[in-house]
Structure 1
């Protein structure tokens, strides 16, 4: 590993979490490097537009160059390219926002957001990152990971974002077992108060889980059992259509843990 590159990445990660604006001394302390080293790293990143310095506080924050890199990643992501049409169909059919997400370490990265139909102002969540255990997207993906990967995630630190977040590995494991049985996951205000979602896994041409599609909206919309069920079924069907578009085999997602549907 090239140490300078590794340290530069560490700088970006530090600026992406916590206070988000940090001074040279703060970063040097966090990275356990000399202040001149931290300053040199920041100046190099600044020259490439990856960080910027606030004129008033002299502190550093992430720069616009990262947006360009992030958009390039999203635009080239195969799942996102294939998911756009299907997400729009689901958003129109269910009259709700639709997210498409993939796992990155222990987080779910939202790679596409289809806004709910209408003229109301909406926050576009593309690029947002959520702890996997606090959202339906994460549960839908992790439920279908190989057992050893699933166990590792359950054994790691589980985030608690709201009072409804579930950070008990045994409870989560039981939920994931249920997800494998019915083919979709749910969350109720576990990542954002006032919001709920249902999500279904998407599989690639190898039969491995590649991501998930979620229907997201105000919790009131999901409190009605019929509406919740209808939304879940619609989401599962769209996820299956997207999986077929990616070349997934017919038995994708089926295992000894989940009996085939009649």
Structure 2
């Protein structure tokens, strides 16, 4: 078995650590989190900074991901067939629904957001391409877990963290949720991941009829729901979008 290169492993771990946080991290925090000597951590950070993968805030001295990673990530995403096929349909869904649209795929025990269309209003929003979402509580994640056997295993065997009082964490109840998703063809998340936020999603299939991703809308509960239930016109719009992308990927009519 080929030996791995320790310095590259440490650099990758450092990038994942910075990607997972909601704030900049200092040298001491990074070194402690990765169980590294400060000198070692500083050397890796300095190299990553020189290559543009990490940036250091001049005022605080703290570190964050750099623009070069975004450039590389966008290069990958641009050649990703799923994203390419979904671009126009996702834009149409955002206009029709008035809400944010997300396209997600299975990645490392979670949902990787590969495309994000902003809610079509003048509000300030943050691009979430590259963000990770949990499988067990989000609408995108439930769709993947319901239709993709690998995602199902990850969600069933992995940690199902409780994010709000509504999060389903017990395995038997979670399996019941997935049965419902498969029965109706779409998934919901009403304040199960974030308080005050609701979302719904539907599966995307390829030419082999295999699940390759999910598309959905997310917004405030009072906009996405009516009388305590998800608005049927939004459900229809999301399902139509998923079918359109699937057809473009060669799935045919269904």
TM-score (norm 1): 0.85
Instruction: Please say if residues 184 and 198 of structure 1, whose CA atoms lie closer than 8 Å, have aligned partners that are also in contact.
Output: yes
Task: Identify if the C-alpha distance between structure 1 residues 197 and 13 changes in structure 2 by more than 3 Å, giving closer, same or farther.
Answer: same
Instruction: Please say if residues 163 and 190 of structure 1, whose CA atoms lie closer than 8 Å, have aligned partners that are also in contact.
Output: yes
Instruction: Please say if residues 136 and 155 of structure 2, whose CA atoms lie closer than 8 Å, have aligned partners that are also in contact.
Output: no
Task: Identify if the C-alpha distance between structure 1 residues 153 and 40 changes in structure 2 by more than 3 Å, giving closer, same or farther.
Answer: same
Partner of 2:75 in structure 1? 72
Instruction: Please say if residues 80 and 100 of structure 1, whose CA atoms lie closer than 8 Å, have aligned partners that are also in contact.
Output: yes
Unaligned runs of 5+ in 2: none
Alignment size in residue pairs? 250
Partner of 2:191 in structure 1? 189
Give, in angstroms, the shift of residue 86 of structure 1: 1.0
User: Helix, strand or coil for the counterpart of 2:95?
Assistant: helix
Matches within 5 A, 1:215-226: 215-221=217-223, 222-224=225-227
Between stretches 169-178 and 107-116, larger displacement belongs to 107-116
Which of 17, 20, 25 is residue 17 of structure 1 equivalent to? Answer: 20
Matches within 5 A, 1:11-50: 11-18=14-21, 20-50=23-53
Counterpart-to-counterpart distance in 1, 2:197 and 2:38: 43
Partner of 1:241 in structure 2? 244
| Deviation sequence 1:20-49 (CA, Å, 0-9, x none) | 433434333332333332222111111111
Counterpart-to-counterpart distance in 1, 2:23 and 2:122: 32
Task: Identify if the C-alpha distance between structure 1 residues 45 and 181 changes in structure 2 by more than 3 Å, giving closer, same or farther.
Answer: same
Counterpart-to-counterpart distance in 1, 2:245 and 2:172: 31
Task: Identify if the C-alpha distance between structure 1 residues 249 and 220 changes in structure 2 by more than 3 Å, giving closer, same or farther.
Answer: same
Give, in angstroms, the shift of residue 211 of structure 1: 0.7
Task: Identify if the C-alpha distance between structure 1 residues 19 and 84 changes in structure 2 by more than 3 Å, giving closer, same or farther.
Answer: closer
Matched, 1:51 2:54: yes
Partner of 1:176 in structure 2? 178
Unaligned runs of 5+ in 1: 252-262
Counterpart-to-counterpart distance in 2, 1:12 and 1:123: 20
Cα RMSD of the aligned pairs, angstroms, is 2.3
Give, in angstroms, the shift of residue 202 of structure 1: 0.4
TM-score (norm 2): 0.87
Partner of 2:158 in structure 1? 156
Counterpart-to-counterpart distance in 2, 1:85 and 1:92: 11
Counterpart-to-counterpart distance in 2, 1:41 and 1:117: 41
Matched, 1:208 2:216: no
Give, in angstroms, the shift of residue 226 of structure 1: 7.7
Give, in angstroms, the shift of residue 195 of structure 1: 1.6
Counterpart-to-counterpart distance in 2, 1:20 and 1:197: 25
Task: Identify if the C-alpha distance between structure 1 residues 118 and 25 changes in structure 2 by more than 3 Å, giving closer, same or farther.
Answer: closer
Instruction: Please say if residues 130 and 191 of structure 1, whose CA atoms lie closer than 8 Å, have aligned partners that are also in contact.
Output: no
Task: Identify if the C-alpha distance between structure 1 residues 96 and 42 changes in structure 2 by more than 3 Å, giving closer, same or farther.
Answer: closer
Partner of 1:232 in structure 2? 235
